[in-house]
Each structure stands twice: as C-alpha cells, then as structure tokens.
Amino acid sequence: GAVVSQHPSWVICKSGTSVKIECRSLDFQATTMFWYRQFPKQSLMLMATSNEGSKATYEQGVEKDKFLINHASLTLSTLTVTSAHPEDSSFYICSATGTGGSYEQYFGPGTRLTVT
C-alpha cells in the first residue's frame, strides 16, 4: 500500500516552454503533498507544500509564479514549470502524507526534467 506515482518519469523540453508533472497517490488519500527538487549528488530541497483545495505554501527562494502547484483532489497534485530554462533542469520528486496523522511521507519515483 501507500504508493505514489509520478508522470512523466523523464521529460525533455525546449527553453521557454512549460512542463507539467503529475503526482498521484494510488491507494490512499493524500491530504498533504510535497514537492522537492534534487540536484545531482545533493540532498532534497523542499520547494512547496500543498494541501488539497488550498494554495500551496512555497519555501523561501522558490518562485511561485515559475513553479505552479495545484492540488485539486486528494489523489492528485501537479507541478508546472513555466517558461523553463536550462537551469531548471533537475530531478523533481513529490511525496504525500495520508489522512491518518502519521508523519511518514511516501515518495514518488521522481521526474527528471532536462531543458535544452
């Protein structure tokens, strides 16, 4: 149980275009989802926290107009990288917590974004 999927697993796009990444909880309802960014050989950097039906809370230094997050249902959150540039190339990982009050997060497999 507690499976989180991401789609796509990898994407290549041209500079200036927008890319949408989906994060789904497959067998549980996710009240809270998190989006992380991971640079090569580095730790995860939390970008934002999203709760179903409300606006995402962004970490300091993360541009909310560039990284649009929507958490429209208890099983789906999306991250849209708008007007992507090569420096946005990274590994994006989502995670979700369930409704039971557990602190455990369930992580998606990640999406590798390459902007050319």
Partner 1 sequence: GDSVTQMEGPVTLSEEAFLTINCTYTATGYPSLFWYVQYPGEGLQLLLKATKADDKGSNKGFEATYRKETTSFHLEKGSVQVSDSAVYFCALSANTGGFKTIFGAGTRLFVKA
Instruction: Supply the minimum distance, in Å, between the C-beta of residue 31 and partner 1.
Output: 9
Query: What does the alpha-carbon distance between residue 45 and residue 82 come to, in Å, rounded to a whole number?
Result: 19
Q: Does 46 bind partner 1 (CB under 8 A)?
A: yes
Stretch that binds partner 1, among 13-21, 42-50, 60-68, 72-80 (CB under 8 A): 42-50
C-beta closer to partner 1: residue 81 or 93? 93
Q: β-pairing, 111-115 with 10-13?
A: parallel
Instruction: Supply the minimum distance, in Å, between the C-beta of residue 45 and partner 1.
Output: 9
Q: Does 44 bind partner 1 (CB under 8 A)?
A: yes
Closest CA to 91 of 15, 6, 3, 18: 6
Q: Does 41 bind partner 1 (CB under 8 A)?
A: yes
- Tell me which of 27, 85, 104, 114 binds partner 1, using CB under 8 A: 104
User: Could you tell me the end-to-end alpha-carbon distance of the chain, in angstroms, rounded to an integer?
Assistant: 37
Beta carbons of 107 and 44 less than 8 angstroms apart: no
Query: What does the alpha-carbon distance between residue 17 and residue 42 come to, in Å, rounded to a whole number?
Result: 26
Q: Which residues bind partner 1 (CB under 8 A)?
A: 6, 32, 34, 41-44, 46, 49, 57, 93, 95, 97, 103-110
